[in-house]
Amino acid sequence: MSAAELERRYRRLLAVHPWEHRRVYEEEMVAVLLAGARPGQTRPGLRDTVDLIGAGLRARLRVGARGFTEPAWADAAAVTGVLVALVLCAAAGRSLLDQLLVDPSLPPPVRPAGPDLVDWLRVAGWAAVAVTALAGLPRVAAGLAWTGVAGWLVLVGPGVTDQPTYVVDTLPQFALAVVAAAALTVPAPARRAVAVLGVRRLVVLVAAGLAVVSVLAVSRLARPPFQVAADSRPVYVLYDLEARSELVIWLYVAGLAAAALAAVAALATLDRPVRRRVAVLLAPVAALALVIDTALAGWAVSTVHMGHAIALVPAQWLLLVLVPPVTFLAGVLLVRRREETLRMVALGRAADRERPAS
């Protein structure tokens, strides 16, 4: 009875190993472990437990690392690096235009003084990342992207003590920069993003970014002018859009929606394995933005109304740090399970076709 109980517990520990490894070596490993057990032993020793769990985790890491060498991951990384660089370039361009264009709805004392060197460098830097990646210079593109990550840490990171809301608000852009840098660091053939996307999809993605920036710039210039005296005419506001006419607001929304749908449609026509992996690479940023907008919404409002910085507690920082990697790993597991299921279904159908009719 003790031998059966010990064997059962050893098999539980061996479950940490990948299934392919257990299929080949499990019986042999169990036999060796039982042969080395003491008479009457019913539980694995501490040393055996640590060794088996450690070896199983190392084996799973090796298997997982081999999975990232698949061509689909390299293609998805190349596409994601270029896509995120274009998004960050558009965001930087929009911020630059906000400094250049005079907002007529603001009173003169609070109008921006104009862009500084950092505003120009952000646009030029992310444009250079996209261009060098498309031109077949991935190392240069990755280096520039990592420079952007370092720039955020140097310029924005210190504000975590006195400007925590600003730091948290910019975390999604920082996460996008990390995703772009990491994706461009993945080894891939030169100009792979162009080969996978194709010229048409690439033109659509660039045009969609320009369209979004243009609509927001036009809406800024066309805002109702600031007037000190009371004005009875209505003003319609939707997030950052503002106009005297509700129809104009809906035209702005239609333009933004058309640009977004065009970009999504372009990415939706990619091969399914690549499309799934692009979604997995971008999911951590979406999850981080969702956490900031929901779990930290009360903290952001309180900070604004209190008039002074409210420090995040360690649990909140832990949430911000852990959500992106956990989301990424969950996405990787879902993709693998989905594709393994599809592979097994395809094998079953192939077997059915080869089976002779009765």
Indicate if 116 and 222 belong to the same structural domain.
Answer: yes
Report the mean per-residue pLDDT for the chain.
83
The pTM assigned to this predicted structure is 0.76
User: Which pLDDT tens digit goes with each residue over 195-232?
Assistant: 998 899 999 999 999 999 998 888 888 777 766 444 56
Indicate if 260 and 338 belong to the same structural domain.
Answer: yes
Within a domain: residue 309?
A: yes
Q: Which domain holds residue 26?
A: 2-66
| pLDDT number for residue 36 | 77
**pLDDT category, 76, cuts 50, 70, 90?**
very high
Tell me the three state secondary structure of residue 171: helix
Indicate if 106 and 36 belong to the same structural domain.
Answer: no
Contacts of 48 (CB under 8 A, 6+ apart): 10, 13, 33
**pLDDT category, 40, cuts 50, 70, 90?**
confident
Within a domain: residue 356?
A: no
Within a domain: residue 357?
A: no
76 and 277 Cβ atoms separated by less than 8 Å: yes
User: Which pLDDT tens digit goes with each residue over 149-203?
Assistant: 999 898 888 877 778 788 888 899 999 999 999 999 988 888 888 999 889 999 9
Within a domain: residue 355?
A: no
Angstrom distance (rounded) from CA 220 to CA 236? 13
Within a domain: residue 358?
A: no
User: Which pLDDT tens digit goes with each residue over 265-307?
Assistant: 999 999 999 999 999 999 999 999 999 888 877 777 777 666 6
| pLDDT number for residue 66 | 56
Domain boundary among 66, 89, 114: 66
**pLDDT category, 112, cuts 50, 70, 90?**
low
Please tell me the number of Cα atoms within 13 Å of 7 on its side-chain side. 12
Residue 5, CA distances (Å) to 1, 9, 37, 40, 43 in order:
6, 6, 12, 10, 8
The one-character DSSP state at 224 is P
Q: Could you tell me which residue, 277 or 18, shows the higher pLDDT?
A: 277
| pLDDT number for residue 99 | 82
Other beta carbons within 10 angstroms of residue 221's beta carbon come to 12
| pLDDT number for residue 87 | 94
Within a domain: residue 173?
A: yes
Indicate if 39 and 100 belong to the same structural domain.
Answer: no
Q: Which of 52-56, 227-231, 246-250, 300-304 has the lowest mean pLDDT?
A: 227-231
Domain boundary among 22, 40, 66: 66
Max CA separation in the chain (angstroms): 95
Indicate if 46 and 192 belong to the same structural domain.
Answer: no
The token pair that represents 187 in the structure block? 């080894």
Within a domain: residue 78?
A: yes
Domain tally, the chain: 2
Indicate if 62 and 73 belong to the same structural domain.
Answer: no
Indicate if 194 and 313 belong to the same structural domain.
Answer: yes
What residues form DSSP beta bridges with 242?
Answer: 237
Domain boundary among 19, 45, 66: 66
